């Protein structure tokens, strides 16, 4: 039929097993794990939207013992955690926050703050505690919390105790903050 177009079916990720055994041998030699067969397969899956594969790769670089010659371990971790976070993984978002926000003498970077909000909204308790700590340390601009505060006002947004703790931490009187 003239004028009809057919779209190709989406390409399925490589048929590799999830939780494939990634070896620290290649990185120890200065070779990124993504160039090995199981690592390459997981990277393809992760880039295709498989959040478990992205987290597995991020965790692999995180858990490697010692130093790795010629490989930017932190860069690889952050890449895979961002891939997971951008795909909707709260665990990936929380891991990315910890890698991005390393200079506690400046404001929390905007990308770390965005990932932190994802983790808080997913109910990760440590993320809520971190948000409160950074707010109370003056590392978050009040205007950047407007939407999160509105979301927290929604009943059922988080379990009541967790929600109340975050609201109380964000509403702590200034004299209480100075005493700590």
| pLDDT digits 0-9 by tens, 37-81 | 999 999 999 999 999 999 999 999 999 988 888 889 999 999 999
- 14-20 contacts, C-beta under 8 A, 24 or more apart: 14/41, 14/44, 14/45, 16/41, 16/42, 16/44, 16/45, 18/42, 18/45, 18/50, 18/52, 18/53, 18/56, 19/56
Predicted TM-score (pTM) of this structure = 0.84
pLDDT over 70 percentage in the chain: 86
Among 25-29, 81-85, 96-100, 107-111, the range scoring the smallest mean pLDDT is 25-29
């Amino acid at each position: 039929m003239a004028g009809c177009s057919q779209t190709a079916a989406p390409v399925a990720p490589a048929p590799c097993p999830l939780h494939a055994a990634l070896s620290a041998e290649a990185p120890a030699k200065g070779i990124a794990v993504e160039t090995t067969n199981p690592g390459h397969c997981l990277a393809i899956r992760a880039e295709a939207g498989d959040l478990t594969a992205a987290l597995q790769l991020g965790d692999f670089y995180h858990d490697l013992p010692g130093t790795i010659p010629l490989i930017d371990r932190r860069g690889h971790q952050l890449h895979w955690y961002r891939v997971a976070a951008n795909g909707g993984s709260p665990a990936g978002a929380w891991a990315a926050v910890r890698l991005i926000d390393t200079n506690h003498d400046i404001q929390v970077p905007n990308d770390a703050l965005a990932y932190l909000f994802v983790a808080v909204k997913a109910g990760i308790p440590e993320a809520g505690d971190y948000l409160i700590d950074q707010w109370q340390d003056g590392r978050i601009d009040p205007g950047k919390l407007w939407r999160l505060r509105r979301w927290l006002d929604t009943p059922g947004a988080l379990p009541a105790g967790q929600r109340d703790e975050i609201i109380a931490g964000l509403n702590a009187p200034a004299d209480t903050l100075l005493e700590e």
